[in-house]
Each structure stands twice: as structure tokens, then as C-alpha cells.
Structure 1
């Protein structure tokens, strides 16, 4: 299955200047537990926002740059080629950024969202989830605490 995974503000902001604009340690742990040992599809800018490749995951990077070839990664020039590079009978994750989510939405079977209950200024946004195409099947509220400045909810959507 193709699964899109993202942390999204109330106004669909993903980030600004190629960085997250919030810090939710439990969301990082959830992201790691869901994506470890899977293929992850991302854009070049998202890949370059990491200090190093994420361990125990196969990185598929979509870019228009023909000479881009980071060690140990699969580099392609389209979402179709990225999906074709994923194992057929395994879960693969689309992890961003904004343009990649827009390209990936038609291929997604599931969307895993961490909804951050706040609005932020940003320059990258998650596509609007159409209630006519997607059904919310799971929702888990989490409340701000000493490590989390904002309330947030894990939401799982499946395509209708």
C-alpha cells in the first residue's frame, strides 16, 4: 500500500524554509515506528533537510536534477517511477514535502496525519483532504505537556 504520512497544522502548513515549525517528540517516534524498514518517497528538499539519511529505510528521492545521486538512495524524476521502485506487496510511505504530497495523493491508499492544533505561517502545505474521497477511520487525541507545546491528534484516513 502507498501511505502518505505528515504532520500538518490546522491551516495545512507543513513547514517554512524547509523546516518544521513545531517540535513534537512523540510524533517523531510515531513516524519512526511506522516508516522503519520501509521505502520512503520524498522530494530532494525534504531529503536535504535531514542531517543524514534516516536509518533502516530505503530512500527514494524525486528530483528534476539529472546529476543528483546521493549515496545509498534511489533517485527518480517522477512519482510514477518512485512508486514503481517500491516493493509491490509492502507498505511504502510518501513523506513530503508539499509538492510531493500533491503528486502522491492520487496514488495513496491511506493517509496518516498528525494534526497539530495550531496555525502557523508557512511556505509548504499539505493538500486538502476531500471528505468525499477519504474516510477518517481512527483518531487519537494527544495533549500538550512539558515536551509538546501544542495539542495534536493522530488521524488515519482510508480512500473510500
Structure 2
């Protein structure tokens, strides 16, 4: 199994505000779709509820301690160890608690950095380039639908060479 993490954060590592993304960036949504389609995404219950439904064309897995939580369009797991039993390419999809619990486990990270600061109440954990090397970095294209400067990074854990 390949374990990746996918996230979009601002300059202060904000990832959410009041259980929503504080920005609208179609380029990032398109990248998420391209990377995760046909694979598995693992998210916490609040992230799943903020989406409103499972994302199509990929396996959606919700990690929750709530034994009664039974979404009709996603699988449920109840502890971190269950992630290791998932097959194929698995993406950690958020939110803050799940990122904090898994950042030290992932093989690589797909990070979209918003080059601005937004108000937020959910944050991505700190990470350093001592742990990860930059595999690629690419500036996001700006247009009439993508108005916020941003760039895409693919970071690979250094001890996975």
C-alpha cells in the first residue's frame, strides 16, 4: 500500500474555517480529482459531513469513533490501524485531527499552498523539509476562476529513497 496525504493550506497552514474551506480554488479541486480518482481517500467524520456526500469514482473511507455512524455511500473504520489494511493507493484527506495523527506515517504529501492568509479554526500540522524533499513544485495558473495565487508541491519522505 502507498500512503499519501493530500491537503490545501494557506501561509499560516489554515485548512478550514467553521467546517468549510475558506477559499474557492477550482485548480486545487481539479488536482485532487486527478490524483485521487480510482484510489481510496480516508477522512474524518467532520470532513465527510462538510462534503455532504462521498466523492465519486474513488473509495471513500470515514474514520470515526462513533460506532453508530453508518453513511450509505462510504465505508467506515474505527481506528488508525485499519488504514494499514486498505489496499492500493490511499490518500489521507483530512481534517486536522487525522492529518496530525498520520503525518508521520505517510510516504509522500501532495500540498497546495495558498499564497495568502485566511481566517481559520482548523490547521495543518507543522512539517519541515528535514523530513521531506521537494519532488516537484509548480505554480498554479491564475484565471477568471482561480484568483488566488497558489502553488502545488509534491513532497516525498526522505527516508523512503
In the superposition, the TM-score normalised over structure 1's length comes to 0.94
Structure 2 counterpart of 1:140, from 138, 141, 144: 138
Q: Distance in 2 between matches of 1:26 and 1:41?
A: 21
Structure 1 stretch displaced more, 32-41 or 143-152: 143-152
- Gap runs ≥5 in structure 1: none
Residue 51 of structure 2 corresponds to residue 50 of structure 1: yes
Question: 2:104, 2:69 → 1: CA distance?
Answer: 26
Q: CA deviation at 1:144?
A: 3.3
The alignment's C-alpha RMSD in Å is: 1.1
Q: Runs of 5+ in structure 2 lacking a partner?
A: none
Question: CA offsets, 1:5-57, max 9 Å, x none?
Answer: 01110100001011000111111011001001111100000001113211111
Moved more, 46-55 or 143-152: 143-152
Distance in 2 between residues matched to 1:58 and 1:100, nearest whole Å? 17
Q: Is the 8 A contact 2:18 2:121 kept in 1?
A: yes
Whole-angstrom distance in 2 between the partners of 1:51 and 1:66: 19
Contact 1:143 / 1:150 at 8 angstroms: preserved in 2?
no
Cα contact 2:46–2:95 (8 A) shared by 1: yes
Residue-by-residue CA offset, 1:93-148 (whole Å, 9 max, x unaligned):
00100111111112100100000000111111111112211111100012433112
Instruction: Provide the residue aligned with 1:67 in structure 2.
Output: 68
TM-score in terms of structure 2 length: 0.93
Separation in 1, partners of 2:6, 2:25: 15
Distance 1:142 1:73 in 2: 31
State the aligned residue count: 157
Does the 8 A contact of 2:48 with 2:62 survive in 1? Answer: yes
